[in-house]
Amino acid sequence: MTAGTQDHGGGHVEPTAFGFDASAWVAWAMIAVFALMIWKRVPAAIGKALDRKIAGIRQQLDEAAQLRAEAEALRAEYEAKAAQADAERATMMERARAEADGIVRQAEADAAALVERRTRMAEDKIAAAERAAVDEVRARAAAAAAAAAERLIRDRLDAGADKAMVDSAIADLGSPR
């Protein structure tokens, strides 16, 4: 190595080696680094790494698209299930209302039948009580009439009148009518 001394007018000396100054050595070093990178195929490795990175990103994008499609399918499925559940709920509500209306109509009919049956039973009891009262009145009237007839017969008829009546009835039996 040789060191040259050059004065550029300011008293400062630039070092040199093999006739090259510091900027030339930096340039040769850069050329050597670039040559080494090309010889070791660094750009190809960088390209491959970038290609792998791009492939990974594409795969992630494809997975994201697939996940989005699955999510949309699930959303559509759940919306369909929700619509079906709403329809079933409406059907169940309508069926429940119809059953409740039927139960109310049946209860009203049963209540009306019960009232009619109880009314008929009360009327039958009243009619039976009336018949019993009429029968009792008739029985008392018959008993009173029989007692009165007995008293009249006892008062008006004596043993002689009885004999004459019996004789007359016997005579009437033998005669043709």
Encode pLDDT of 3-41 as tens digits.
Answer: 454 555 556 777 777 887 888 888 988 998 888 877 778
pLDDT tens sequence across 136-161: 998 988 888 888 888 887 777 777 77
- Give the residue among 61, 36, 62 at the shortest CA–CA distance from 45: 36
Measured in whole angstroms, how far is the alpha carbon of residue 58 from the centre of its chain? 46
Q: Which amino acid is at 154?
A: R
Say whether 8 sits in a helix, a strand or coil.
Answer: coil
Asked whether 13 and 7 are in contact (CB, 8 A), the reply is yes
pTM above 0.75, yes or no: no
| Burial bucket for residue 151 (CB in 10 Å: 0-12, 13-18, 19+) | exposed
Asked whether 18 and 26 are in contact (CB, 8 A), the reply is no
Name the E strands within 36-165. Answer: none
